[in-house]
Structure 1
Amino acid sequence: MQNSAKIICFGELLLHFAPDSEGNWLNGQSLKIYIGGAEYNVAAALSQWKNSVKLLTALPENFLGNQLEFQLKNKGIEVIAEKTQGRMGTFYLSSDSDMQNASVIYDRFPSVFTGSDFEAFSDDELFSEVKWLHISTITPALSDNAFRKCLHIMKEAGTRNITVSLDLNYRALLWQNKNPHIIRELMPFVDVLMGNIWSAEQFLSIPVEYELNGNSDDENLLKQAEKTALEIRKQFPNVKKIANTFRFTHGEEVNYFATLYTDEHLLVSEQYNSGRIDERVGSGDAFMAALIHGILKGNPEKQILEDAAKVAFKKLFVKGDTIDDSINIEKL
């Protein structure tokens, strides 16, 4: 049965080209392509878990845009799309590379999303039956119009008693020649924040003060997570929950855990380890989706955190940008 509380996500729908890192795709003349984009990844997981979801985005007015819209509707996602002549944004990244390093190649300027003014739909249309708004810090980096739209709808959500979540996912390539501190302007309207201690430093100028050894068993990680959360709460008392994800990779080996600061306490998840990773994209988005799902269901805080950590870890073994049917949040 579908949850009637609608969630709206605002962000760019992307095509993810995933060439193998050895270059064999050139000989085979075949390339893996996934639908991606941080907010879409969150929306897709939430829809799979029977939540009612809208995606506010932009699509090209051509057969590609039509096919993508049809695909999203088949996944149970209501599409609210600005449609104009133009192209989809894309990025190139192999499955064994990471979105945060130099191996990602963005080709998203210009695109129908970065060129949109986002004025085609009224606030009443966007927020009809909506209980939750989700955005990531990727969206405001894409254009002045996208930033202004984020600020406007986050403010508007507050006046309508709609919960607002923000994912502080820092992408250095998207913030070149831009000031990431503009994210501070969005923070007074955020209820649920996800990120990590390093993204909080980049966006909010909250320093990592403890000396860290680069390993997942470093006790200073938890001290810093709490210190960062306390400073966020001090500067932005409206933020009620602050989640951090910690993923340490050494070659193919991965160590993963997460924290959730809520009700003035720092909760820490179980730690997960594996000798391999199949996919580095979308784990954080899966965590964010699980966080939203658990909060909307009214689950206990510890369960919300543990479910989100399990979902995010499981996503490391699912190819592509989004989760698949193998990840059922009700049967973890």
Structure 2
Amino acid sequence: MRNEPHTTAAHCRIVCFGELLMRLSPPGNELPLQSPRFDARFGGAEANVAASLAILGHDSVMVSALPDNVLGHACAGELRRHGVDTRNLHVAAGRMGLYFLSPGAMHRPSEVLYDRSDSVFARAPASTYDWPRLLAGAQWLHVSGINLALGESTAQAALDAVRAAREAGLSISFDCNYRSKLWGSRVSQAPALLREIVSEADLMFGNDRDVALMLDTDFPAPEAAERFRAAADAAFAQWPRLRRLAATERFHRNVDDQDIAGFLATRERVLTSTTYTLTDIVDRIGGGDAFAAGLLHGLFLNMPEQAALDFAMAATCLKHSIPGDVNTMREADMLAFLTQSGFEVKR
């Protein structure tokens, strides 16, 4: 891959659907309320993808529901600052979804506490979203399994979205994003709902554990690459429309020191990335979303699949150096990462 932006390539109009959240975390590596302060940032799985793709030059549209108050307006403003089209955000009375992040350090893992029940997004009926109108002019739809976990109405809205996208001829990417804490008492519904939405997807972001959950099976191979290959074979056999499966795999020494590698499977082959060492991690939240946005960017620009995977890995690696949920790096930064020969100050 040349160390040049792809300025002449056609960009894509992509619609992302999911909940927007406010993240509250104590400063530095403090425990929550160790001191009476929280840092506030905005994010959400699909929103992180939307923002990153907008920064990379794509026509990125966010569909969601926000409260008609200072928090909701500030969140929409943050998305617009990154270049995301927010004209299709539904605004209503109610509360903003929150999550509290307790950042880990050394051998103390990070921990997330969700406070998003009865948010405006969770309470919005599926009929809130006029999908033929919202998808008009788009080429791609991106959703995640978090929508399925939050309740019956958000699950139905996500299913309506992918069905409308399929009928309109859009490509669909789906990030499993399985979060056991979010499913709660509905956890027994997770495999069936995940299977239903994956059946419409062209690209799935998910690892062997996600596929095993959906298919009620196991992939016991000792090596991560072998497990991913077996999971990809099972996924392609189960879902005829699925064209690609992508995932990252982490190897932890502690919270601040990890290795990460990427995999991309097609129906013909499995590609692997370089394994990168991440030391003194600044913020790993949103790393998977950065990977997703990076891979989508590569595919939208018709990069060779290995180059697209490498670009996605550059995106996720650089995200670990950035506070907050969103990878704010540009295409030239990812290309420079892939060819860098040192760490001198850029002057």
Task: Return the TM-score normalized by structure 2.
Answer: 0.87
CA deviations on 1:18-58 (whole Å, 9 max, x unpaired) are 1144348653x332111111000000100000100111100
Q: Name the SS for the 1:270 alignment partner.
A: coil
- State the Cα RMSD in Å: 2.0
Q: Name the SS for the 1:114 alignment partner.
A: helix
1:270 aligns with 2:277: no
Q: Which residue of 1 aligns with 2:232?
A: 229
Which structure 2 residues correspond to residues 84-123 of structure 1 after superposition, within 5 A? 84-96=92-104, 103-123=111-131
Deviation at 1:121, TM superposition (A): 4.0
Deviation at 1:102, TM superposition (A): 8.1
Of residues 238, 243, 254, the one that matches 2:246 is 243
Q: Which residue of 1 aligns with 2:199?
A: 188
Which structure 2 residues correspond to residues 1-332 of structure 1 after superposition, within 5 A? 5-20=12-27, 21-23=29-31, 26-27=34-35, 29-79=36-86, 80-96=88-104, 103-178=111-186, 179-181=189-191, 182-210=193-221, 212=222, 220-251=223-254, 252-325=256-329, 328-332=333-337
Deviation at 1:11, TM superposition (A): 0.3
Distance in 1 between the 2:207 and 2:327 partners?
21
In structure 2, the CA distance between the partners of 1:117 and 1:50, relative to structure 1 (3 Å rule), is same
CA deviations on 1:154-179 (whole Å, 9 max, x unpaired) are 01111111010011111110122212
Structure 1 portions without partners, runs of 5+: 213-219
Q: Is the contact made by 2:104 and 2:111 (CA closer than 8 Å) also made in structure 1? A: no
Structure 1 stretch displaced more, 18-27 or 162-171: 18-27
Distance in 2 between the 1:141 and 1:311 partners?
27
One-letter code aligned to 1:242: L
One-letter code aligned to 1:287: F
Deviation at 1:188, TM superposition (A): 1.4
CA deviations on 1:201-258 (whole Å, 9 max, x unpaired) are 2233241222x3xxxxxxx211111110000000002110111210122212201001
Distance in 2 between the 1:120 and 1:297 partners?
33
Quote the sequence identity (%): 29
One-letter code aligned to 1:134: H
One-letter code aligned to 2:190: P
How many residue pairs get matched? 320
Distance in 2 between the 1:121 and 1:197 partners?
32
Distance in 1 between the 2:99 and 2:57 partners?
29
Deviation at 1:309, TM superposition (A): 1.1
Structure 1 stretch displaced more, 250-259 or 199-208: 199-208
Q: Name the SS for the 2:102 alignment partner.
A: coil
Q: Name the SS for the 2:104 alignment partner.
A: coil
Deviation at 1:326, TM superposition (A): 6.5
Q: Is the contact made by 1:95 and 1:280 (CA closer than 8 Å) also made in structure 2? A: no
One-letter code aligned to 1:284: G
Task: Return the TM-score normalized by structure 1.
Answer: 0.91
